[in-house]
Structure 1
Amino acid sequence: MNTPEPRDTGLPTNRRASPPEWSPPLPDAPGFEHFAVETPGLRRHVAMIGDGEPVVMLHGLPMHWWQWREIGPRLAAAGYRVICPDQRGFGWTEDDGARLEPETWLHDLLTMFDALELDRVRVVCHDMGAISAMQLAYAHPERVRATVTMAVPPGFMSFSPSLFPNFAHIPPLMRHRPGAPLDWLFDEQHIAHRLSDEMLDAYLSPYARPGLDAAIPELYRRVVMPLVLQMMRGTYKRQRLMPPNLFVFGDHDGAFTEDRLRRLCGDLSRYAEHAELAFVDDARHFVTDDQPEAVTELVVDFFDRVG
């Protein structure tokens, strides 16, 4: 549904555009306010809820801000200002069509921080949202208080052929054609609790926008695969992760079993100042939809402990 002009939220008024008539209509999520934040080459849709220290939440594919509809209000109740942008190529964000580069999303994130006058933030990310979150934590640790990464292993983890089943979705998405369905991503291999048709429509309705799903293959070729190759080559083993990071997985997320991930990660302190692994019962890849309450409890506890 369309959202009226919001109350004063503390965002810099010179960088906050009045909400346009969002098309298609935004799915319902009580308590959220919606803004268009303008930066060079990008008119970014941002949903926000709560007051307090900022938590930036970065969605995965094929999702957008609505992924945080249940977790965001819970974090807001815990005293945080929850900021949920639609990344370039997703949701209701509009871009200038510039060619994607491996660090495009990182640059987008930094310009949004500057536009909203965010100095240091906590970050929660899932799936593709981990790309810019990981790049941010390694390249600009001074901007990150702590990060919770879901359904994506640490960049320093050793790779094994046993993990390949969890990457089986990549070849079909690299061949994706405009108008082809995307609901297969929410099959029983990826989500423990089936979504209703209404929920699927809420996630997938933005792909009716011209050109949005046509960008998916380029996104995988130019952003996702370079990062995967960096991880496989051990790039992040030669760096040190400075901000505290919690890596969260569903306990039935395919090849990402607890025993395998702990073995492949080894001694976490060797590569990170503070890193933890956590596993959520009765959940798969889309852990935020399977178990939003359990995920929120992990996030709040981690943020409380690392300060």
Structure 2
Amino acid sequence: MTVTMTSRPSMPVVDGVDHSFVNVADGRMHVATRGAGDGVLLLPGFAQTWWQWREVMSALEAAGHRSIAPDLRGEGWTELPFADLTRTRRAQDVIELLDALELERVKLVSHDLGSITAFQLALDFPDRFSAQVMISVPPPQMKFSVDMLPGMRHLWHQEVVALPGIGPALLRRKRLSRHLFEHHSRHVLDPEVIGLAAALLRDPELSRAASLLCRRMVLPELSRIIRGAYRRERFAMPSLFIFGAEDLGFPAHVTREVFADPHIFGADTRFSLVEGGGHYVLDEEPDVTVRLIVDFLDSI
């Protein structure tokens, strides 16, 4: 499947951020970079891109880190076919990217859908990652409980988006893309955040890829987590999980229950709740969230 870019919006411009296309597997991955120093790999959430990390990249540069923010297969301005899009393919893309950039070991930060790829990487390639931060996504080793059921009613869009034909068609309409952000945010987001996501999802290829991501990654991984497929796995590296205290899908009381004994996820596992933030806590409470990320990475 040939990937074209004709209907995608122009890439946002952020001072200090450099862009390149790196050959991996069967195409080119778009990568945004900033700064110098030890590498920090940033993996974006559903319907988002490298641009999600613009404020994090600035803070990381100031702290002496180099940010590497790729658009993953099926997202943003990356030119990779998505017909064979799976969780293992996306993880392998990242390993090939690190190899191409000659990065043997990096720190890892992810949000939402990017965290599915991140925990695959952290569990399958522990020698490549010295620390990780996951935002708005619980550890895959967690034990499912009935207390999580009320939050799951806010995730109905995942099943709808996963439907072939129907999901992509709905994503191309601004109403659903706005819902994905506005319903799961406790603050009014910058219109540019929602506008860019909506513009990207109007692209027929990206809307089809988004549907595939839900069908082949999000829903299957949810099933695997509920079945306990990762229950015996442990993270080898220091890990920080950040949640907005008002995340509808994973509210604060559930987060505290899951992390009652954080050592079941790894020897050094921490979590933080950001008051006033929802699922898009990085956009809602950027100062607090960015500081948590930088302070944790600097402590390793």
| TM-score of the superposed pair, with normalisation by structure 1 | 0.87
Aligned residues: 286
How many angstroms does 1:112 deviate by? 0.5
CA distance in 1, matches of 2:208, 2:265: 37
Alpha carbon RMSD of aligned pairs, Å?
1.9
Structure 1 residue ranges, 4+ long, deviating more than 6 angstroms after superposition: none
How many angstroms does 1:31 deviate by? 1.4
State the partner residue of 1:156.
Answer: 141
For the residue of structure 2 that corresponds to 1:122, the secondary structure is: strand
CA distance in 2, matches of 1:234, 1:42: 35
Contact persistence 1:156–1:265 (CA under 8 A):
no
Note if 1:30 corresponds to 2:15.
Answer: yes
> Aligned runs of 1:127-146 on 2, under 5 Å?
127-146=112-131
Per mean C-alpha deviation after superposition, the further-off stretch among 115-124 and 171-180 is 171-180
Match for 1:159: what amino acid? F
State the partner residue of 2:237.
Answer: 243
CA distance in 1, matches of 2:210, 2:193: 21
State the partner residue of 2:40.
Answer: 55
Distance 1:209 1:270, change over 3 A: closer
How many angstroms does 1:197 deviate by? 3.4
CA distance in 2, matches of 1:193, 1:153: 22
CA distance in 2, matches of 1:148, 1:161: 26
State the partner residue of 2:181.
Answer: 186
CA distance in 2, matches of 1:291, 1:209: 29
For the residue of structure 1 that corresponds to 2:29, the secondary structure is: strand
Q: Which has the higher helix share?
A: 2
Structure 2: gaps of 5 or more residues: none
CA distance in 1, matches of 2:67, 2:257: 34
How many angstroms does 1:22 deviate by? 10
For the residue of structure 1 that corresponds to 2:230, the secondary structure is: helix
Match for 1:249: what amino acid? F
State the partner residue of 1:172.
Answer: 160
> Aligned runs of 1:294-305 on 2, under 5 Å?
294-305=288-299
Identity %: 36
Contact persistence 2:41–2:69 (CA under 8 A):
yes
CA distance in 1, matches of 2:40, 2:266: 21
2:266 to 268, 272, 275: 272
Match for 2:161: what amino acid? L
How many angstroms does 1:196 deviate by? 3.9
Contact persistence 1:57–1:124 (CA under 8 A):
yes
How many angstroms does 1:205 deviate by? 2.2
Contact persistence 1:103–1:223 (CA under 8 A):
no
How many angstroms does 1:166 deviate by? 4.6
Match for 1:180: what amino acid? R
State the partner residue of 1:110.
Answer: 95
Contact persistence 2:47–2:201 (CA under 8 A):
no
How many angstroms does 1:75 deviate by? 1.1
Note if 1:85 corresponds to 2:78.
Answer: no
1:227 to 221, 226, 230: 221
* CA deviation string 1:197-245 (max 9, x = no partner): 3332223322343411022222111112221112111122111211111
Per mean C-alpha deviation after superposition, the further-off stretch among 131-140 and 236-245 is 236-245
Distance 1:228 1:23, change over 3 A: closer
Distance 1:167 1:232, change over 3 A: same
State the partner residue of 2:61.
Answer: 76
Contact persistence 1:71–1:296 (CA under 8 A):
yes
How many angstroms does 1:174 deviate by? 1.6
Match for 1:167: what amino acid? L
Contact persistence 1:158–1:265 (CA under 8 A):
no
CA distance in 1, matches of 2:238, 2:102: 22
| TM-score of the superposed pair, with normalisation by structure 2 | 0.89
Contact persistence 1:113–1:119 (CA under 8 A):
yes
Structure 1: gaps of 5 or more residues: 1-19
Contact persistence 2:74–2:81 (CA under 8 A):
no
